[in-house]
Chain A
Amino acid sequence: MDNQIKRKSLEINDCWNHIGVWGKETPRCEKLDNVIHCRNCEIFSQSGQQILEQPLSEEYLSDWATIYSNEKKQRRAGSKSSLVFRLGDEWYSFPNDAIVEVTEIKAIHSIPHSKSQALRGLVNIRGELKICFSIGHLLGIHKGKKLIEQTSKYKSYERMVVISHEDQQFVFPVSEVLGSTRYNDDDITAPPATIANAKATFTTGMLKVKNNNVACLDLGLIFNSIKRSLK
């Protein structure tokens, strides 16, 4: 919106960009000793005042007239929220109300003679032993080539997520937690019909979060298959 409004050039000595806090030139402004930051300085606020006291151009008036003659775009609040996490190269989400906590990776104590591959073992979460399972195994996905970790500018940290459903709690490790996201029901699109593997049955829909396609997982189905794998 801002670039549509062409401001008339106004001569302002932007000392704050040279000898002030946003500049690196020496000698430094003497006033800084007193005011500490440029925004406390009267020259800075006077310049701001000067910009607001500027006469308007015809372009400014007509640009804003166009903007306000259009219908207001309603920003939707987003009535639901989900925790978005990554397994290998793919993004998934669980509804926020199922999430108990996200912690750092803890040692998994394996259970001897356990036949289930999804069951990883027991984890100590705040002094309570909780069952840890591999959600990737349930979904039939592997750690992948970790393309995201190689290309990302940021270092990602593995985490453990504690979820609860119908008074039962389970823990599962994830490659990365992106955070919580808000969405509306109509933001969710149906999962692609071509998905033939196990993933589709656990997915209730797809969500777009920061250019990532996030699969929303069905909590009830996941819990059922965990319970089945424990038997």
Chain B
Amino acid sequence: MLYLRFNLDNEEYALDTSHIVEITPLVELKSVPKSEDFIAGIMNYRGTPVPVIDLTRILLEREFTRNMSTRIIITKMSDGTTVGLIIEHIEGMIKKPDSDFVNTNITSNQTSYLGNIAIDSKIMIQVVQLEELVADKLSLLTSLQKSAGA
């Protein structure tokens, strides 16, 4: 499996690339008043409004930094929803068999989207499960997309 590897405050994470449509630089986002704090805003992605989730807010509980290296990952869920994710410090791609990722048995209801861990040259990389992450926030997102599309 091919993963997108990124670094948030010196912790390594990986995203399964099969959901990724495109990686764009940081763009102007339309802010959504009174929305959850992990919603960074709405992006005009090729003519369609796409909600953008701030992954640093979810994982680190801080706002993303507006750097040259900050990127928006446009992803498409299996149900067809398009969602953008803001991440910092993309390090590249890694190819690892699924068997390299080990279940650590540490689960929390709040972080069900954090998946298995692999070790790549002594560095531990944790998978962020996109579908779970988005499903976690989905009820909010669908209503958001409807209001944005209207």
Contacts and interface: CB of A to CB of B under 8 A. Distances in A.
Contacts of A51: 68
Contacts of A65: 27-28, 43-44
B67 A61 contact: no
A65 B46 CA distance: 9
- Which of B27, B67, B70 neighbours the largest number of chain A CB atoms within 10 Å of its CB? B27
B18 interface: no
Interface stretch (A35-43, A68-76, A121-129): A68-76
Interface stretch (A23-31, A52-60, A210-218): A52-60
Nearest to B50: A68
Interface string A66-95: 001111100000000000000000000000
A201 interface: no
Contacts of B68: 51-54, 56
A114 interface: no
Interface residues of B, number: 16
B69 A71 contact: no
Nearest to A56: B66
Contacts of B27: 61-62, 64-65, 68
Contacts of A70: 46-47
A52 B46 CA distance: 25
Interface in B23-53: 24-28, 43-47
A56 B26 contact: yes
A62 B44 CA distance: 11
A45 to B, nearest CB: 13
Interface in B45-99: 45-47, 65-70
Nearest to A5: B25
A55 B67 contact: yes
25 contacts: A51-B68, A52-B68, A52-B69, A53-B68, A54-B68, A56-B66, A56-B67, A60-B26, A61-B26, A61-B27, A61-B28, A62-B27, A62-B28, A64-B26, A64-B27, A68-B43, A68-B45, A68-B46, A69-B44, A69-B45, A69-B46, A69-B47, A70-B47, A71-B47, A72-B46
Interface of A: 51-56, 60-62, 64-65, 68-72
Please give me the 8 A-B residue pairs with the lowest Cβ-Cβ distance, nearest first: A52-B69, A65-B27, A65-B28, A69-B44, A64-B27, A61-B28, A56-B66, A52-B68
Given A54-B67, A56-B67, A68-B45, 19 more contacts: A53-B69, A55-B65, A56-B66, A56-B70, A60-B25, A60-B26, A61-B27, A62-B28, A64-B24, A64-B25, A65-B28, A65-B44, A68-B27, A68-B43, A69-B47, A70-B46, A70-B47, A71-B46, A72-B46
